[in-house]
Amino acid sequence: MQELKVLSPTAILGYGFPEESFEKGLAQHPDFIAVDAGSTDPGPYYLGAGVSFTDREAVKRDLRLMLKAGKRLGIPVLVGTAGGSGANEHLAWNEDIVREITQEEDLELKVAVITAEIPKAEILKKYEKGKISPLPPAGEISREDIENTSRIVAQMGVEPIIAALDNDVDLVLAGRAFDPTVFAAPCIKAGFPAGLALHMGKILECASIAATPGSGSDCMLGTLRHDCFILEALNPKRKCTVTSIAAHTLYEKNNPYKLHGPGGIIDLEETKFTQLDDKRVKVSGSRFIPSEEYTIKLEGAKKTGYRTISIAGTRDPIMISQIDEILEAVKNMVKDNFSHINNDEYQILFAIYGKDGVMGKLEPQKNANPHELGIVIEVVAQTQEMANTICSFTRSSLLHYGYPGRIATAGNLAFRYSPSDIPAGEVYEFSIYHLLTVEDPKEYFPITIKTMKGSE
C-alpha cells in the first residue's frame, strides 16, 4: 500500500460538521473515518460524575452520518475517548447511542468495545509496587489520593486499537485513548511509519482547527505515505497553510520538538512543512522514538464538595476603585457570622471580570480602569445546603456593604438572574494525573466484540 487516507469529520464527536465537507471527504475514498470524542479540557467534573460534556443528540447526529458512510464505503469507523472521558459509564452511554442508530437505520455493525477504566484495587497494587510516577506538575501520589478517587482511566496507545481492528470490525468504540491513536493505529497496522502516523493523528484529532480560519466543527482529510503525510481542508472557505499546521503541531506541548505518549516520543527535530497548493500542506521527517519502559497516563477525579454561584455586576466607580478591599472585608464578615463552621469546610471565591477574571494573579494589566465589573461569587462547601447558605450571605453582604465614599443606598450590585443564587452541584478535582508503567500495552484495555443489528 503506497498511501492511506483518513477522514476526520470534527474536532470532537458532537461538535458537528457540514455535510458538504463530509461528502467531499468521502468522495476521495478514505480508508477509514476516525474521530476523537473526548478531552480533559472541560475539567474533572465529567470524569468524576460519569457524564458526557457533549450533547447526546449532537453526538447521535454526527455518529449517524459517520456510521452510514462507513457501511456505504465498506470502511471502519473509529471513536476514541467515547462519551467525553472514556470511563465505563461514558462508554456505555456512547454504545447506547450506537445501538439506537443501528435500529433506526436498520444497520448491522460488528463493534469492538475497548474499556479503559481501571479498578482502584488494581491501581493500589501498582502503587505498592512503585509502578506509578508523577507527571509534572503533579506531585507524588498517595494511597489516600487513590482511595478518594471516583473513577480512574488510562490513556491507551495504538496496540489495543490494532488488536480490535484484527477482528475486521465496522466500528471501534474505545474508552480513554491518547488523542492521536484512533487515527494512527490503522496506519501503523498497515505498515506505515509510527512517527508520521502519530504526528498526522495529532493534527487530525482537532480536524479543521488546524486550518485557517480554524473551526472545531469542520472536516479534514489526511493522506499518509511512507515518507510524508498531506493535510487538506475540505471546506472551500478554509485552507491548510504551513503556519496553521506548524502552529497546531505546537498545540498542547511543553516542548516544541517532543510529544510524549504511550510507549515513546514523537520526535519533531527533523520535521519539515511544505505548502503544496492553496489548500494542502505536506509534512515529513517526524519520527517515533520508543521509550525504555512503556508508560500510560492515568487520570482520576475526586469529589471535593458542592458549589453555589451568584452572578452580578457593578458600575459604581467608587466601588470599582476599592473592589479588592471590599471583597476581603465581605469574606471577613462571612467568617465572623459563621464562626461556628470551620474555615476548611467552605471556600469563597470571587472572579472579577473586567479586572482579572480570566488571568487571575497572572494578569499583566494591574492598573486597568474599567467602567464596569462582572462579579462571580462562588462558594464550595462540604454540602449543597452549606454552599447555598454561605453564598446567600456573601451575596447579601456584598450587595449592601457600606464601603468608604458610598453614595447609593439601594444596593451595590445588579443581578441578571432571579433567583440570584444558582446551586451548581458536585465539584470535582483531578486527583490522579500520573504515569503507570506496564509490561503489556494491552493489559488494561480488554476488547469485547459485539454485533448490533437493526432488526433486534
Residue 456: CB atoms within 10 A of its CB come to: 9
Inter-residue contact 283 to 240 (CB < 8 Å): no
Cα-Cα-Cα-Cα dihedral of 143, 144, 147, 148, to 10°?
A: -150
pLDDT in tens, 417-443: 999 999 999 999 999 999 999 999 999
pLDDT (mean) for 221-244: 97
* Residues 163-213: tens digit of each pLDDT: 999 999 999 999 999 999 999 999 999 999 999 999 999 999 999 999 999
What pTM was computed for the model? 0.94
Query: Residue 173: what pLDDT?
Result: 98
Q: Average pLDDT of 3-18?
A: 97
The pLDDT confidence band at residue 455, using thresholds 50, 70 and 90, is low
Lookup: cell for 268: 519533531
Give 22-33 pLDDT, tens digit per residue: 999 999 999 999
355 grid coordinates: 479586572
pLDDT over 70 at 456, yes or no: no
Where along the chain do its domains lie? 3-299+433-453, 317-411
Rounded to whole angstroms, the Cα distance separating 437 from 441 reads 9
The per-residue DSSP string of 195-224 comes to HHHHHHHHHHTTGGGGSBS--SSS-EEEEE
Over residues 284-300, the mean pLDDT reads 96
- Residue closest to 456 by CA, chosen among 47, 74, 98, 215: 98
CB-based contacts of 268-274 (< 8 A; 24+ apart in sequence): 268/199, 271/199, 273/242, 273/245, 273/246, 274/242
Query: Is there a contact between 201 and 207 (Cβ–Cβ < 8 Å)?
Result: no
Mean pLDDT of the chain: 95
Match 491518547 to its residue by C-alpha cell. 178
pLDDT, tens digit (0-9, with 9 covering 90-100), for 101-143: 999 999 999 999 999 999 999 999 999 999 999 988 888 999 9
pLDDT tier at 250, thresholds 50, 70, 90? confident
**Selection from 145-159, 240-254, 354-368, 400-414 with the highest mean pLDDT:** 145-159
The per-residue pLDDT for 447 is: 98
- Residue range 376-400: mean pLDDT, rounded: 98
The amino acid occupying position 254 is: N
Maximum pairwise Cα distance, the chain: 78
SS3 string of 141-191? Answer: CCHHHHHCCCEEEECECHHHHHHHHCCCCCEEEECCECCCHHHHHHHHHCC
Q: What is the DSSP track for 123-146?
A: HHHHHHTT-EEE-TTS----HHHH
pLDDT at 410 (0 to 100)? 85
Cα torsion for 87, 430, 359, 364, to the nearest 10°?
-130
Find, among 216, 238, 180, 220, the residue nearest to 22 by Cα.
Answer: 220
Least confident range of 290-294, 305-309, 365-369 = 365-369
| CB atoms closer than 10 angstroms to residue 156 | 29
**pLDDT above 70 (res 342):** yes
Closest CA to 33 of 74, 86, 81, 92: 74
pLDDT at residue number 78: 98
- Predicted confidence (pLDDT) at residue 288 exceeds the cutoff of 90: yes
Residue of higher predicted confidence among 240 and 367: 240
- Does residue 264 surpass a pLDDT of 70? yes
Sheet holding 287-290, edge to edge: 258-261, 264-267, 287-290
